[in-house]
């Protein structure tokens, strides 16, 4: 552990997760592809003002914790914890290097801590020597006397505190050791300093930073992440590529991009063998994750004998549309030594454009400098890329 800064993070992760009841430590559970703990630790690892991270784990669980942290395990220091959270935090604090001036304590069970929260805490910490992230309370809070209410607590005065809880290392160590010595159980670090009359700066943060305690918390965290991923997926363009080759033979028409091109040879195939449209269809199917044209229009199926590939393209577009996607751009390259395609380029692009309303279309052609099957004029190849967006 090294770094120029002198703020370190201590992440207690040595609990058993009994209230969640998964039969294992909840911080090790996979939450939408990544462990709760790795999610909780990462913002600290990527913050340039944080010089290092100590993760406190239960003795005997080191290997499982390393596995849960994956590659990040290399970048944290693991130390064994204690029977209570308070003891575990103390174990973490005692393992910090000598140059540590500030410490940010953060529960391994809070996977949604953000950079914005860390920034706000670090700013307050440098200014006042303490920072505890908190939110306003939206429920009305009652003081209970048995089964009856003894009145409301004024809500404007209330804050629900979370982690990170950040202090000068020396002050926090003294406060926690005093609490430990005097047998005072404090539920958070701030509680230990409050006992000594030390000021604790509250930092209000808007970001959602819940602790995963129960099964319901875990389920909520999962659906929150899925919703977030869904939104990103919705905005992300999808790109697919396609490639096809057909042999040139006598006695067939040459059709490229739906345009008949005068030539003494034509492409051999079950359909009209429009190699350019075939590559384009595969690109679209690729972007929509719908397989390929071989699967969709098998050449063993008599319905597709001599088929107009532009009609097949309509079927591909219908399927992509049913999957919620539309083509916004298509780029097709035809690889042919002969015939000269330049005179037909505009017509080919126009033909595809009319099949792909709203999309930009680019058609280009190249020779292979006489090399290979295309160069020898034995066949024509085509490749395509298609970009799709949600409707």
Positions touching Mg ion (CB under 5 A) are: 15
From candidates 27, 103, 332, 374, binder to ligand CTP by CB under 6 A: 27
Query: Which of the choices Mg ion, ligand CTP, none does residue 277 contact, using the CB cut-off of 5 to 8 A by kind?
Result: none
Q: What is the Cα–Cα distance from 290 to 356, expressed in whole angstroms? A: 18
Q: Which is nearer to ligand CTP, 12 or 379 (CB)?
A: 12
DSSP 209-232: -----SHHHHHHHHHHHHHHHHHH
What is the bridge-based pairing of β-strands 148-153 and 202-204? unpaired
Residue the block writes with tokens 């008599």? 302
Residue 364 binds ligand CTP, judged by CB under 6 A: no
How many angstroms separate the Cα of 177 from the Cα of each of 45, 98, 259?
27, 18, 83
300: alpha, beta or left? (left if phi > 0; alpha if psi -120 to 50) = alpha
Query: Which of the choices ligand CTP, Mg ion, none does residue 203 contact, using the CB cut-off of 5 to 8 A by kind?
Result: none
From candidates 68, 76, 79, 109, binder to ligand CTP by CB under 6 A: 109
What is the radius of gyration, based on Cα positions, of the chain? 32
Q: How far is the CB of 91 from ligand CTP (least distance, A)?
A: 8
Q: How far is the CB of 185 from ligand CTP (least distance, A)?
A: 12
Query: Which of the choices ligand CTP, Mg ion, none does residue 336 contact, using the CB cut-off of 5 to 8 A by kind?
Result: none
Total chain residues near ligand CTP (CB under 6 A) = 23
| Residues 296 and 269 sit within 8 Å (Cβ to Cβ) | no
Nearest CA-CA partner of 186 in 161, 204, 203? 161
Q: How far is the CB of 15 from Mg ion (least distance, A)?
A: 5
Q: How many residues does the chain have?
A: 391
Question: Which residue sits closest to ligand CTP, CB atoms considered?
Answer: 15
Q: How far is the CB of 160 from ligand CTP (least distance, A)?
A: 14
Q: Which is nearer to ligand CTP, 61 or 272 (CB)?
A: 61
From candidates 14, 29, 221, 256, binder to ligand CTP by CB under 6 A: 14
DSSP 24-42: S-GGGSEETTEEHHHHHHH
Stretch that binds ligand CTP, among 20-28, 72-80, 230-238, 281-289 (CB under 6 A): 20-28
Q: How far is the CB of 39 from ligand CTP (least distance, A)?
A: 12
Q: Which is nearer to ligand CTP, 87 or 331 (CB)?
A: 87
Beta bridge partners of 4: none
Residue 19 binds ligand CTP, judged by CB under 6 A: yes
From candidates 18, 204, 229, 301, binder to ligand CTP by CB under 6 A: 18
User: Could you tell me which residues come within 8 angstroms of residue 329 by beta carbon, excluding any fewer than 6 positions away?
Assistant: 359, 360, 361, 362, 386, 387
| Residues 380 and 248 sit within 8 Å (Cβ to Cβ) | yes
Residue 164 binds ligand CTP, judged by CB under 6 A: no
Q: Which is nearer to ligand CTP, 24 or 207 (CB)?
A: 24
Query: Which of the choices Mg ion, ligand CTP, none does residue 88 contact, using the CB cut-off of 5 to 8 A by kind?
Result: ligand CTP
Q: Which is nearer to ligand CTP, 6 or 110 (CB)?
A: 110
Query: Which of the choices ligand CTP, Mg ion, none does residue 43 contact, using the CB cut-off of 5 to 8 A by kind?
Result: none
Measured at the CA of 260, the angle between CA 258 and CA 265, to 5 degrees, comes to 125
Detail the DSSP E strand segments found in the chain.
Answer: 7-12, 30-31, 34-35, 50-57, 76-80, 102-105, 130-136, 141-145, 148-153, 159-168, 202-204, 238-250, 254-256, 259-261, 265-267, 325-335, 360-366, 379-390
Q: How far is the CB of 44 from ligand CTP (least distance, A)?
A: 14
From candidates 62, 84, 375, 378, binder to ligand CTP by CB under 6 A: 84
Q: Which is nearer to ligand CTP, 26 or 47 (CB)?
A: 26
Nearest CA-CA partner of 316 in 271, 376, 349, 365? 271
From candidates 51, 56, 186, 327, binder to ligand CTP by CB under 6 A: 56
DSSP code of residue 196? T
Q: Which is nearer to ligand CTP, 94 or 364 (CB)?
A: 94
Nearest CA-CA partner of 55 in 112, 96, 21? 96
Q: What does the binding site for ligand CTP look like in residue numbers (CB under 6 A)?
A: 12-20, 26-27, 56, 81-85, 88, 107-109, 211, 213
């Amino acid at each position: 552990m090294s770094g120029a800064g002198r703020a370190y993070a201590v992440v207690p992760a040595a609990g058993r997760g009994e209230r969640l009841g998964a039969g294992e430590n909840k911080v090790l559970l996979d939450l939408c592809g990544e462990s709760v703990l790795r999610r909780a630790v990462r913002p600290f690892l990527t913050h340039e003002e944080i010089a290092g991270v100590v993760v406190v784990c239960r003795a005997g669980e080191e290997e499982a914790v390393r596995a849960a942290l994956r590659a990040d395990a290399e970048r944290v220091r693991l130390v064994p914890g204690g029977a209570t959270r308070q003891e575990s935090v103390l174990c973490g604090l005692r393992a910090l290097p000598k140059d540590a001036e500030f410490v940010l304590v953060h529960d391994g069970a809070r996977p949604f801590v953000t950079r914005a929260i860390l920034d706000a805490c670090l700013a307050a910490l440098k200014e006042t020597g303490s920072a505890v992230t908190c939110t306003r309370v939206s429920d009305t809070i009652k003081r209970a006397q048995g089964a009856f209410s003894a009145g409301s607590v004024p809500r404007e005065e209330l804050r629900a505190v979370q982690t990170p809880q950040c202090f000068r290392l020396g002050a926090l160590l003294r406060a926690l050791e005093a609490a430990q010595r005097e047998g005072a159980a404090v539920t958070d670090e701030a509680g230990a300093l409050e006992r000594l009359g030390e000021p604790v700066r509250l930092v209000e943060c808007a970001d959602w930073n819940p602790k995963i305690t129960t099964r319901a918390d875990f389920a909520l965290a999962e659906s929150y992440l899925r919703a977030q991923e869904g939104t990103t997926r919705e905005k992300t363009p999808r790109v697919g590529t396609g490639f096809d080759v057909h042999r040139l033979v006598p006695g067939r028409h040459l059709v490229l991009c739906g345009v008949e091109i005068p030539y003494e040879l034509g492409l051999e195939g079950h359909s009209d063998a429009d190699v350019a449209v075939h590559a384009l269809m595969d690109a679209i199917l690729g972007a929509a994750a719908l397989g390929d044209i071989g699967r969709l229009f098998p050449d063993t199926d008599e319905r597709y004998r001599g088929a107009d590939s532009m009609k097949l393209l309509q079927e591909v577009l219908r399927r992509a549309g049913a999957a919620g996607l539309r083509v916004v751009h298509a780029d097709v390259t035809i690889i042919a030594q002969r015939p000269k395609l330049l005179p037909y380029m505009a017509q080919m692009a126009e033909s595809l454009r009319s099949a792909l309303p709203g999309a930009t279309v680019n058609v280009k052609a190249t020779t292979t400098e006489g090399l290979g099957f295309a160069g020898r004029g034995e066949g024509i190849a085509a490749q395509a890329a298609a970009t799709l967006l949600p409707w």
